[in-house]
A and B are shown apart, each in its own frame.
Chain A
Amino acid sequence: MALNTQPNLERPDDFYEALIDMHRDLDDVQSQSANAQLILLLANHIGDHATLLEAMRYAHEGAADTSPRGGEAHPLAA
């Protein structure tokens, strides 16, 4: 099972709002905990190891990558 990165959310804007809302009334430490718990819950739901590894790879690349997307600087970048 490959990771699905095509649009798949039933209600994308509602989901995003709920995700941000989840952190309401939480301090930074609690927010970190909530994020971690959310990842663990979703990972268990997915279950498939290869899919999880693929998602982790994209997440890591996304965080570590500081070069501009597509190798070209944005026209407005200084």
Chain B
Amino acid sequence: MSTNYQTLSFEYKPCREQSERGGADQAAYPVIVVGAGPVGLATAIDLAQQGVPVVLVDDDCSLSAGSRAICFSKRSLDIFDRLGCGQRMVDKGISWNVGKVFLKDELVYTFNLQPEAGHNRPAFINLQQYYVEGFLLERAQEMPNIEIRWKSKVVGVAQNGAPAARDAGVTLTIDTPDGPYDLRGRYVVAADGSRSPIRNLLGLDSKGVTFKDRFLIADVKMEADFPTERWFWFDPPFHPNQSVLLHRQPDNVWRIDFQLGWDADPVLEKTPERVIPRVRALLGPDAKFELEWVSVYTFSCLRMERFRHGNVLFAGDSAHGVSPFGARGANSGVQDAENLAWKLAMVLEGKAPDTLLDTYASEREFAADENIRNSTRSTDFITPKSPVSRVFRDAVLKLSRHHPFARQLTNSGRLSVPAVLRDSPLNTADSDSFEGAMVPGASCVDAPVQQEGQPAWLLQQLGQQFTGVLFRGEQGIDHATQAALDALQASPIPLKLVVVTSGNAKAASSTGVQIVHDAEGLASARYDAKPGTFYLIRPDQHVCARWRQVDVNAVAHALKRALCVEGTA
């Protein structure tokens, strides 16, 4: 019997701080994560995998109400893989790569988000948010160093100590069915959603633009034979003058998103009497379906000015918000989580100064700006703000029927891809010449490889800790390179080493080094690698530096730079 994640409920239990003598004597926890949504859960699991004990508090005791975020990107799946629950997501989810855009009933534009083979994960899966949260939660529950406290609502926040000092910390007041108690942590991750209570308690806000349009989500259960593609209509005959989006989810659930316009009555439009005829207009008069979840929403593109405030770090919807077109909300939040987790772990282990956490804020603020920019552009196209904007939008659509150039202007959502952190202070600029997309600051792309003769994937070997990847080619490893690898393994920041062989090279085993074989040559091609090329990869699978020849001093310097260790700026 399968679990019904929509109705699961979790038990509140009093914790030790609430017992008479616990409380004040309890040492501060390294990290308190607030919010057991996808972002909070991903942060907690990632920290726990890094060996950092986590207390996770949530004001509720159930998973996402309704399907909500349904599109999870390749980058999120790569992250879930590293967190140990990617396969479950993909097995349950509906994989898709292709989107189609229609004007009235005519197909005007088709895009393929992953046109090349040789990737473990598809461009996207569709999966109801309660499954994503459920699978993450079950992974978190496997980890002995995560303690989850349900029905625990943050009602007070106080920052203690001088910022960045070793004794700096945060005291949260947590309200429970048994009354409030104080919970002390060195760092707090506020993954508490778009209406973030912590943001409000600190007197902060998230600023931006609210769009004057309303949309209706109707998730319907039905047997249907639409292909597993994202279909988007402008001005379809069944819903004139507005847009409609159709998406398939698991369990025979289909997401239909109707644009309603600003004047629509949000209460009235949620009633079955209004929703069912709209769905019938799309599916035909004889269609058999049940309404699974209905929601009328408006949206904003906004963000906090800074994602770090003292020892409180904001992640996900609390820090930034986008329109749903482009699937950039939950996906960017999961990327926040992974950016933050390794940095917190390094600071808590004393391997990096507190200033490393400032780069969480700067890198993810940059990514949020990119997401907001893309989301705003899509929204301006779907919901033109002025008469002239409408004229140009319609002109693009009309031209797109016959002229290929206009199809690239047709914007029904630019779907989530990870930001390239090109200007991050953690990068070491190239000193050698490289081609291709794997620039410092880019998240690593996947490629098929073989490990001990079995099919495997390159991304499975990367990350979690700093990783050095040596492309060895067909040749063996010369003495100088071997000496460099030995020295790097003995460095104070442990470096995982991966050697990529190619051609007819025999993979000789070497202690402490993972060896993969690039049988198809795709890993070398995608990383523009020649024999001797060495990549330094961050724990979050981002390229940090690369060279044509490994040099211990250069790698050590790049590693220090990636940790904000003094004297490397």
Contact = CB atoms under 8 A, between A and B. Distances in A.
Interface of A: 32-33, 36-37, 39-41, 44
B395 A36 contact: yes
Contact of B403 (A33, A36, A39, A41): A41
Contacts of B409: 40
B19 to A, nearest CB: 65
B399 A40 contact: yes
Interface in B347-399: 391-392, 394-396, 398-399
Nearest to B408: A44
A44 B405 contact: yes
Contacts of A33: 391, 394-395, 398
A33 B390 CA distance: 10
Contacts of B396: 40
Contacts of A40: 392, 395-396, 399, 406, 409
A33 B395 CA distance: 6
Nearest to B393: A36
A47 to B, nearest CB: 9
A32 B405 contact: no
B194 to A, nearest CB: 35
A44 B409 CA distance: 10
A36 B403 CA distance: 14
A37 B405 contact: no
Contacts of B403: 41
A26 to B, nearest CB: 13
23 contacts: A32-B391, A33-B391, A33-B394, A33-B395, A33-B398, A36-B391, A36-B392, A36-B394, A36-B395, A37-B395, A37-B398, A37-B399, A39-B392, A40-B392, A40-B395, A40-B396, A40-B399, A40-B406, A40-B409, A41-B399, A41-B403, A44-B405, A44-B406
B46 to A, nearest CB: 40
Nearest to B406: A40
For chain A, what secondary structure do more than half of its interface residues adopt (helix, strand, loop), or is it mixed?
Answer: helix
Interface of B: 391-392, 394-396, 398-399, 403, 405-406, 409
A66 to B, nearest CB: 19
Nearest to B392: A36
A41 B409 CA distance: 12
Q: Which 9 A-B pairs have the closest CB atoms?
A: A36-B395, A44-B405, A37-B395, A32-B391, A36-B392, A36-B391, A33-B395, A37-B399, A40-B395
B236 to A, nearest CB: 20
A37 B394 CA distance: 9
Nearest to A37: B395
B403 to A, nearest CB: 7
Contacts of B398: 33, 37
A63 B396 CA distance: 23
A52 to B, nearest CB: 13
A33 B391 CA distance: 6
A33 B396 CA distance: 10
Contacts of B399: 37, 40-41
Contacts of B395: 33, 36-37, 40
Given A33-B395, A36-B391, 18 more contacts: A32-B391, A33-B391, A33-B394, A33-B398, A36-B392, A36-B394, A36-B395, A37-B395, A37-B398, A37-B399, A39-B392, A40-B392, A40-B395, A40-B396, A40-B399, A40-B406, A41-B403, A44-B406
**Which of A37, A39, A41 neighbours the largest number of chain B CB atoms within 10 Å of its CB?**
A37
A32 B409 CA distance: 19
A39 B395 CA distance: 10
Nearest to B409: A40
Nearest to A32: B391
A27 to B, nearest CB: 13
A39 B398 CA distance: 13
B171 to A, nearest CB: 52
Contacts of A41: 399, 403
A40 B395 CA distance: 8
A41 B399 CA distance: 9
Nearest to A34: B395
B511 to A, nearest CB: 53
Contacts of A36: 391-392, 394-395
B224 to A, nearest CB: 36
A36 to B, nearest CB: 4
Nearest to B396: A40
Contacts of B405: 44
B406 to A, nearest CB: 6
B429 to A, nearest CB: 26
A39 B403 CA distance: 14
Contacts of B406: 40, 44
A33 B393 CA distance: 10
Nearest to A33: B395
A50 to B, nearest CB: 19
B12 to A, nearest CB: 57
A32 B391 CA distance: 7
A44 B396 CA distance: 12
A45 to B, nearest CB: 9
